[in-house]
Each structure stands twice: as structure tokens, then as C-alpha cells.
Amino acid sequence: MLRILTLVVILLLPLCSLSSLSEAKVTGEEIYNKTLESTQIYNDTQLQEYIRNLGEEIVAVSEMPNEKFIFTLLDSPDLNAFATRDNYVYVNRGLLNYVSNEAQLVSVLAHEVAHITRNHVLGQEEKATGAKIISTIAGALSGSSEVYEASMAYANSLIKGRGRKNELEADETGAEYMAKLGYEPTEMLSMLSIMKDYESYQKKQATSRGVTRPTYHGVFASHPRNDSRLRTVVVKANQLKSSETRDDGAERYRRMTDGLVWGENFLAKVPPPERFSDMKLRIRIDFPKDWTHLEEKSKSLVTGSPNDKSASLSMQGFRRTIQTPEEYLYNYLNVPLLENGKSISPSGLSGYTGLLVNEDGSKSRIAVIYYKLNAFLFRGEVEDMKEFESVDNLFTSSIATFRPISSAEIAGQKPKVTKYVKIDSPKTYEELAKAEGLNAKDIDTLRIINGHYPSGEPRSGQWIKIFKQ
């Protein structure tokens, strides 16, 4: 894996599957199917085929030339690549935005294949499926930034142990595969240097915000080009170099990745069936999984419920006042005093929620959320009060998904893409960013993806990557 533990695959899985993965052995195919439930395959058959062909060439010169490997390009903006049991190798689309040429891409694939041929994958998966990491990552999937940082810290602790040794061995073996295919092994150093630059930039951004955020990149403390152990194992691979050398494949890579989606791919996001969206009010909410919802437009009301109608959660729109959400409930809607009342802020909005105890002793979940000129009132009820506590967790989780629909979604969900431009006359990245309508924060990113971080500038005659709408 490119500076990533195999446990990253668990980050891609739905939360409900984590416990089962920790209790039983799973196959690579099962992990593959679970992965695709949350992250789609990138919709570019030519690019998929390109990666598959390169991967199979690497396997052909490895210690497992007759084994079947499955190479998959995932439609994720994250800078990840990883391998799992049964010879599955994954590359995230986001990583390709930072790769400069074919040789660097081969270094990523060769590194992942090496994790399999050196039998690193099963050992790391055993660690990744332990109860401790399961509980930590479960918290990360809940959206808590604090728990996310804790999970990354735990991942780093594994890297510092046996993982560091495995990463160096995968670098060494991957470089040997590159040499056998005729690629320059030092392109692996170039690829890892880009990742290190990205990590340095992320740390700088975190420091400027007053926080320290661990990363899963950078097994080596120093920069890859200055790490003597890494340079030694990579350069040593030249002893195996094929007599038929290949160029770095920059032109081929440029041709294959021109137009590659940058960042979030809004077009690939298929809304779950339980999601209700009102494009006029520009709001949405996800009802509990497998629930259906029915809208009554005349009442500005939508109600979700399971198939057996044993529970319901309704959302109704009203005009808001200048009062706080709590005051609005009690003074405007005349709702009786709620138990366990507290303020809530889904998606940064103002709201209030609590439990309404009815005269017959039954309970209802009540909440109100302000958005622009509207107040959205929620009411959750169950048929059998014995089930209220467990179903109330579904109510509160669903209410927490309420959020405005972004301008990108309203505008047709068109993502940014990577484009290549040739520099005909001297230009700075600041000038390029201004010409393309990018902001000041994008200048460092342009330098990183073009191998010029932290202060380099493009040269005349050079092809440069940019990202634009």
C-alpha cells in the first residue's frame, strides 16, 4: 500500500459490516463487494483497462506470475491505494490527480502487488479486524473529527511497528518489478516525494488552524529523496533493469487522465432511496435505512416509516420567527415542556430537540430546525413503547442528516476536472491560478500536483496540470 495500512479498506465499509468482519474471516471478493456498496468504480473503461494492463504486466514479473489479480479504480477523491486478501488491488481516483506519469503509476501498483507477494496483507488485516481498531474506526465513520484523529493516530502506531518494515520491503520489491519492466525505479522516489509534499502541506494547513491532524502518509520521517534506507533499496533495483528500457510514459498518462474528475464527483453520487429532497426549499433529509416516505405538498409535510408502519417520523415546514428554536417550540407552537431538551446544530444550523411525554405516558421525539425563513418541525412516534428507545436512536440520527442542498447539486452537480496546459511563455502558479479562476489556496496544490512544492514555478515548454470546472 502506498503509505497506507491495509486497514484502510475497513474505512470504506458500511458501519453495519464492521462487527461481522471482526468476528469472522472474509474473502477478498466479500471485501470487494462491501467496498463497492460505499464507493463506486470510476466510470472510465479506458482508464480502468489501462490500470488493469499495467497491473498484469507487474504481476507477470513478480513471484506470482500465474495468479489472478483484480485491479480496481475507485471513484474516491482520497489519496489512497491499498491491497486486500485474494489478490485485490485498489487505487482511488484522487491519487491519480497527483501522479505525474505512467512510471509513477506503475510504482504505486508495484508497491501494492508487492504487499501481496510478500504476504503483508493477511498480517495487517488481522490487526485491522481487532476489536480496538473496529471500535475506533466505527467512531470515525460516525463523522466525529476527534475520533477520526484518534483512529489515524492508532494507524500511525501500527506503521511505526511492523508496518514500517513491510512498507520498506514493498518499496524494495516494487522497485525491482519496475526495473524488470524497464521503468526507472527512482520514479518511485518521485511519487513518494509528491505524497510527502502533500502531507507537509496538510500539516501546514492544520497548524494554521491551530490543530494537529495525523496523516497516514509518510512512513519515513525525512523526505523520501533524503531517506538513505529508501534510496538504497530503490537504487539497488537497477541491478535487475531490463535491457529494453521504457520512458516515463508522461505523454500516455497525460492522454489517459486528461479530464479526470478532481475532488468530489457529484455526478457519481446516487442518492439513497430513503433520502427526501425538496429542490424548491433546497433541503434534504435521510430517513432510516429501508424506510419509505410520502409527501403531502399541500401541508408542506413528508412522513417516513418502515414497511410495517410500526413507527413514523414526520417533517413539516412552517414560517420561522425571530425567536430561538427553543422559544419557537414553546411560545409559537405551544409545545408542552420537553424532557431532556437540548440545542442541536445539524450541518451548522440552529435547532432544538427533546422528548414529549403525552398524557397516556407515551413519548414522542420532537425537534425543530431553522433554515433561512423556515422552521422545520419533526415528530417521531412508535406503535409499541417498548421499542421507543431503540427507534428513538433512528429518529435522532435521521434528524441529524437534515441539511441544505449545496449549490453544486442545484447547478447540475458538475465536478471539476484535471486538464493539461503547455506553458509557452514564463508564468508563475499565481498567474495560472488567477487566469483559471482559482483561489490563493489552490496555488500550493498546483505546485504539489506538478512536483514543484513548496516554491517552484513552471518552465517554458513544460506540460502543467490544472483543475477547473
pLDDT in tens, 315-373: 999 999 999 999 999 999 999 999 999 999 998 899 999 999 988 889 999 999 999 99
pLDDT for residue 408: 62
pLDDT for residue 162: 53
How does pLDDT run across 99-113, given as a tens digit for each residue? Answer: 999 999 999 999 999
pLDDT tier for residue 229 given thresholds of 50, 70 and 90? confident
Average pLDDT over residues 207-229: 57
How does pLDDT run across 141-190, given as a tens digit for each residue? Answer: 334 444 444 444 444 444 444 567 888 899 999 999 999 999 999 999 99
pLDDT for residue 411: 60
Query: Which domains are seen in the chain, by residue range?
Result: 8-258 (no CATH), 275-409 (3.40.1000.10), 414-468 (3.10.350)
Q: Rounded to 5 degrees, what are φ and ψ at 34?
A: -65, -40
pLDDT tier for residue 43 given thresholds of 50, 70 and 90? very high
pLDDT for residue 20: 42
pLDDT at 67 over 80: yes
pLDDT tier for residue 410 given thresholds of 50, 70 and 90? low
How far apart are alpha carbons 79 and 60 in whole angstroms? 26
pLDDT tier for residue 207 given thresholds of 50, 70 and 90? low
Long-range contacts of 283-286 (CB under 8 A, 24+ apart): 283/371, 283/376, 283/402, 283/403, 283/404, 283/405, 284/401, 284/402, 284/403, 284/404, 284/405, 285/315, 285/398, 285/399, 285/401, 285/402, 285/403, 286/398, 286/401
Most confident of 227-231, 261-265, 345-349, 373-377: 373-377
Give the alpha-carbon dihedral of 188, 189, 194, 198, to 10 degrees: 110
List strands edge to edge, sheet with 339-344.
Answer: 292-296, 301-305, 311-319, 374-382, 363-371, 351-357, 339-344
pLDDT for residue 120: 82
pLDDT for residue 340: 94
pLDDT at 469 over 80: no
pLDDT for residue 306: 95
Average pLDDT, the chain: 82
Out of 335-339, 393-397, 434-438, least confident range = 434-438
How far apart are alpha carbons 427 and 442 in whole angstroms? 16
pLDDT for residue 215: 43
pLDDT for residue 214: 43
Could you tell me what percent of the chain has a pLDDT over 70? 80
Long-range contacts of 141-147 (CB under 8 A, 24+ apart): 141/11, 141/15, 142/15
Cβ–Cβ < 8 Å for 411, 386: no
Average pLDDT over residues 246-260: 96
pLDDT for residue 230: 85
pLDDT for residue 154: 43
